Homo-oligomer: A and B are copies of this chain.
Amino acid sequence: MNVQEIEALRKEIKDYTEAHLLPFWSKRTIDKEYGGYLTHFDEFGNDSGTDEKSLIAQTRSVFTYSQAYRHGFGGPIMKEMAEHGVKYLIEKMWDEKNGGFYWMMDRKGNATNKQKIGYGHSFVIYSLSEYTLATGDPIGLEYAEKTFDLLQKYAVDTNLGGYWEFFSEEWELMGAGSPGGDRKTLDVHMHLMEAFTTLYEASGKEVHRRKLKESIDILIQKIMHPVYGTGVPQFWADWSVAPQIKFDIVWGWDRFAEGGQKASAVDNTSYGHNSEFGWLLMQALRIGKFPVSDYMDNLKKAFYHSMEHGIDWEFGGVFVEGSHDGQVYDKEKEFWQQAEMLIGMADAYILTKDQDFLKAYRQVHRFVFDKMINFNTGEWWPLLTREGEPIWRHMSHSWKINYHNVRSMILSYEKLGEAAKVLANSN
């Protein structure tokens, strides 16, 4: 690619995000009656009526509007939307008695599942820190810090390291198996790194930087594959690899074989996740002022594996998942992996100056704009065939909200700007 091509892609992103993607949300997500956000929309963008407000969808929405506002996307309404969601989170979803946030509400604001879930709390910290960074309103950071303190108290395994993830309403560790109390996951630890990065950016406190550094070390030393540097999804308490099972409390819309276990339960890695890990790690190192050189090998392994095995050079986009040594298991195209590949490939180019990453970026970008975006609504399809035909058709539900794709558009726009400068200087 040349600089002009990069600038054309940036313009495409900016125009789409301002004219289609953010308006999709600003038109319909605010629940004026009961507070918080409506987050269930069908393929036509109509409210599908599902009677739930999930901690994930509410916090991710707060992140999205806060980040858009901080980065100059979407105008002042983004700030109002973020404030609206923060009010709901604190007034309705905060558990005054036990501390922490309920996992699931009905639309009217009654808690329907009061369990305390690590994944959800990582997004509380991330979104409320971003909210304070964007608006200056200290209430976000106040609750982000409270939530950080609760995780330190209840979630850490002080012997074997890392964080437990599934708790009862009263923060008691859940039992073994599908309740999840005997497993540690890549997902939660990656999102804790993401959350602690933004928390430290907002607070400047040493303890937040220290726990950020430890979360990086957990990922590098315990979670990423020792040979391939790719993400391993699930572990036992002692960090031996556990078969990848479906938990009772799900936080994604994932596919498992009969019996709730992945077909390739112990040799499975997600290209989109590895790319996301790479750019989140770069962000963590930047904010924490940790030396990038100490992690260069980890960054390269994650980015190259994603690019070399995950990119579909024929039909565009990125595959879902495959083995650590590079065999592709699932060639369909899911929304969030596309989003995370865009940011990661742009960052990988900036890091390495290897132009193959720009080609990979373009390969995903074109697939997103030509296939993934449903321009009838402005939002993305959740899942396409390898060639690009919709398989699932909803525009949003509790596990598909705007966090991945809005963030991807904002950060790809910015990182491509940086990439263009790198490219101009390297010619």
Across the interface, name the chain B residue whose C-beta is closest to A217.
B159
| B-side contacts of A158, CB under 8 Å | 152, 156, 161-163, 211, 214-215, 218
Known A171-B207, A172-B206, A210-B173; contact A157-B153, beta-carbon cutoff 8 A: no
Confirm or deny: A154 has a beta carbon within 8 angstroms of a beta carbon on chain B: yes
Candidates B159, B171, B211; contact of A221 at CB < 8 Å: B159
Q: In the bound complex, do residue A161 and residue B159 qualify as a contact, i.e. CB atoms below 8 Å apart?
A: yes
How many Å lie between the Cα of A149 and that of B156 in the bound state? 12
| B-side contacts of A221, CB under 8 Å | 159
Q: In the bound complex, do residue B218 and residue A159 qualify as a contact, i.e. CB atoms below 8 Å apart?
A: yes
| B-side contacts of A172, CB under 8 Å | 206-207
Copies of this chain, complex-wide, total 2
| B-side contacts of A162, CB under 8 Å | 158-159
Confirm or deny: A170 has a beta carbon within 8 angstroms of a beta carbon on chain B: yes
Query: Nearest Cβ distance between residue A192 and chain B, in whole angstroms?
Result: 9
Name the interface residues of A112-164: CB closer than 8 Å to any CB of B.
Answer: 149, 152-154, 156-163
Q: Number of A residues contacting the other chain (C-beta, 8 Å)?
A: 26
How many Å lie between the Cα of A149 and that of B221 in the bound state? 27
Q: Which of A149, A158, A161, A163 has the most CB of B within 10 A?
A: A158
Candidates B152, B170, B218, B222; contact of A156 at CB < 8 Å: B152
Q: In the bound complex, do residue B214 and residue A157 qualify as a contact, i.e. CB atoms below 8 Å apart?
A: yes
Across the interface, name the chain B residue whose C-beta is closest to A222.
B159
Query: Contact flags (1/0) for A267-305 with B, using CB distance below 8 Å?
Result: 000000000000000000000000000000000000000
| B-side contacts of A206, CB under 8 Å | 170-173
| B-side contacts of A154, CB under 8 Å | 207
Candidates B149, B159, B217; contact of A153 at CB < 8 Å: B149
Across the interface, name the chain B residue whose C-beta is closest to A206.
B172
Across the interface, name the chain B residue whose C-beta is closest to A164.
B210
| B-side contacts of A215, CB under 8 Å | 158-159
How many Å lie between the Cα of A173 and that of B211 in the bound state? 11
| B-side contacts of A217, CB under 8 Å | 159-160
Known A170-B206, A207-B171; contact A214-B152, beta-carbon cutoff 8 A: no
How many Å lie between the Cα of A152 and that of B207 in the bound state? 11
Candidates B153, B157, B163; contact of A161 at CB < 8 Å: B157
How many Å lie between the Cα of A403 and that of B299 in the bound state? 53
Query: Contact flags (1/0) for A157-192 with B, using CB distance below 8 Å?
Result: 111111100000011110000000000000000000
Candidates B153, B159, B173; contact of A152 at CB < 8 Å: B153
| B-side contacts of A214, CB under 8 Å | 157-159
Query: Nearest Cβ distance between residue A235 and chain B, in whole angstroms?
Result: 14
Across the interface, name the chain B residue whose C-beta is closest to A216.
B159
Give me the interface of A with B, judged by CB distance under 8 Å: 149, 152-154, 156-163, 170-173, 206-207, 210-211, 214-215, 217-218, 221-222
In the complex, the 8 A-B pairs of residues with the closest C-beta atoms, listed nearest first: A159-B214, A159-B217, A152-B153, A158-B214, A172-B206, A161-B161, A159-B218, A159-B161
A-B residue pairs in contact (CB < 8 Å), sample of 17: A149-B149, A149-B153, A152-B156, A152-B158, A153-B153, A157-B214, A158-B163, A158-B214, A158-B215, A159-B161, A159-B162, A159-B214, A159-B222, A160-B217, A171-B207, A172-B207, A173-B206
